[in-house]
């Protein structure tokens, strides 16, 4: 057993360590405050301007509603195709990384670094990059969504695959089945509810993130938001915001319903 002196030394060591990390946390917060140039005075000064803008938001202007509906559908299409493309890429990547399934385990660390890179670059940055390659339009948005989502989706898929019970996989492998048959008949039935739930969640997220892509020239309703702000046409902006609210709310409800059904009927 430790004597009283040793216990006091350990307690002092823990206290000093906590104090050190507390000082580091405070220093980081102070540095973040200064680097962010946060100015409550500027905020209060700008409030009258904000109030003026809010009063000009109503009533909405529905003159361009058909065009806005097309742009909203384009945003939804970007999210759907981007998520689908990411899913097609994420499945083989996750299989190559997941420990029980990887055909080349030595390659897994490299692929994990790739996923970190894809997740670390925002969808809008990817979209801006692809605008310079494929030109303006929704295709650049699809590529931007697909590349960023592949990183997030594959990482979450790996977590599902690595928590699967090994017994069904081993039972299929004993029969001499190859990797493809093992995946189809042992892995997929167990993992499918989790994979679908992740896909629905990321699709829901991509619908929201796709709204902003029009600002970088990647198609969708975001471009109309940018035009309205440049023109200071707030009635036009209100119509667009109402459409975005309706679209996001509907997708959130649909995604939540789908994930709930998966939970009730795994």
In a domain, 147, yes or no: yes
In a domain, 218, yes or no: yes
Give 229-256 pLDDT, tens digit per residue: 787 777 888 888 888 888 888 887 877 7
How far is the CA of 228 from the CAs of 13, 73, 79, 118, in angstroms?
59, 19, 23, 32
In a domain, 4, yes or no: no
Q: Is pLDDT of 227 > 70?
A: yes
Mean pLDDT calculated for residue range 17-38: 84
- Rounded to the nearest angstrom, the gap between the alpha carbon of residue 204 and the centroid of all alpha carbons in its chain is 9
* Winning range, highest mean pLDDT, from 48-57, 80-89, 175-184: 80-89
Give the number of domains in the chain. Answer: 1
pTM over 0.85: no
In a domain, 53, yes or no: no
Three-state secondary-structure class, residue 178: coil
**Alpha-carbon gap, residue 251 to 201, rounded angstroms:** 10
Three-state secondary-structure class, residue 75: helix
The C-alpha angle with vertex 186 and arms to 182 and 191, in degrees rounded to 5, equals 120
85 pLDDT band (50/70/90 cuts)? very high
In a domain, 43, yes or no: no
In a domain, 68, yes or no: no
Per-residue pLDDT at 105 = 74
Q: Is pLDDT of 1 > 70?
A: no
How far is the CA of 172 from the CAs of 96, 180, 249, in angstroms?
19, 11, 43
**Alpha-carbon gap, residue 60 to 118, rounded angstroms:** 39
Supply the range of the domain harboring residue 217.
74-264
105 DSSP 8-state letter: G
In a domain, 47, yes or no: no
Complete DSSP assignment for 7-38: HHHHHHHHHHHHHHHHHHHHHHHHHHHHHTT-
CATH code for position 156: 1.10.3720.10
On average, the pLDDT of the chain sits at: 79
Q: Is pLDDT of 127 > 60?
A: yes
Give 3-27 pLDDT, tens digit per residue: 566 666 677 677 777 888 888 889 9
Mean pLDDT calculated for residue range 50-59: 72
In a domain, 227, yes or no: yes
Give 160-206 pLDDT, tens digit per residue: 887 776 666 667 666 666 666 677 666 767 777 788 888 888 888 88
């Amino acid at each position: 057993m430790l004597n009283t002196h040793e216990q006091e030394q350990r307690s002092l060591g823990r206290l000093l360590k906590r104090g050190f990390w507390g000082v580091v946390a405070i220093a980081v917060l102070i540095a973040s405050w200064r680097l962010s140039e946060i100015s409550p005075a500027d905020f209060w000064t700008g409030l009258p301007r904000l109030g003026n803008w809010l009063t000009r938001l109503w009533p909405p202007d529905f003159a361009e509603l058909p065009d806005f509906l097309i742009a909203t559908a384009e945003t939804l299409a970007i999210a759907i195709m981007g998520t689908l493309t990411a899913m097609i890429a994420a499945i083989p990547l996750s299989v190559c990384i997941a420990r029980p399934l990887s055909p080349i385990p030595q390659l897994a660390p490299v692929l994990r670094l790739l996923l970190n890179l894809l997740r670390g670059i925002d969808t809008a940055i990817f979209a801006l990059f692809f605008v310079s390659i494929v030109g303006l339009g929704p295709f650049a948005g699809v590529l931007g969504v697909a590349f960023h989502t592949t990183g997030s989706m594959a990482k979450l898929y790996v977590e599902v695959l690595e928590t699967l019970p090994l017994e069904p996989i081993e039972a299929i492998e004993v029969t001499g089945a190859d990797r493809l048959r093992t995946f189809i008949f042992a892995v997929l039935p167990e993992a499918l509810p989790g994979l679908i739930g992740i896909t629905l969640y990321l699709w829901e997220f991509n619908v929201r993130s796709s709204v902003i892509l029009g600002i970088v020239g990647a198609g969708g309703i975001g471009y109309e938001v940018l035009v309205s702000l440049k023109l200071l046409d707030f009635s036009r902006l209100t119509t667009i915001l109402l459409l975005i609210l309706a679209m996001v709310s509907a997708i959130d409800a649909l995604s939540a319903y789908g994930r709930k059904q998966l939970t009730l009927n795994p």
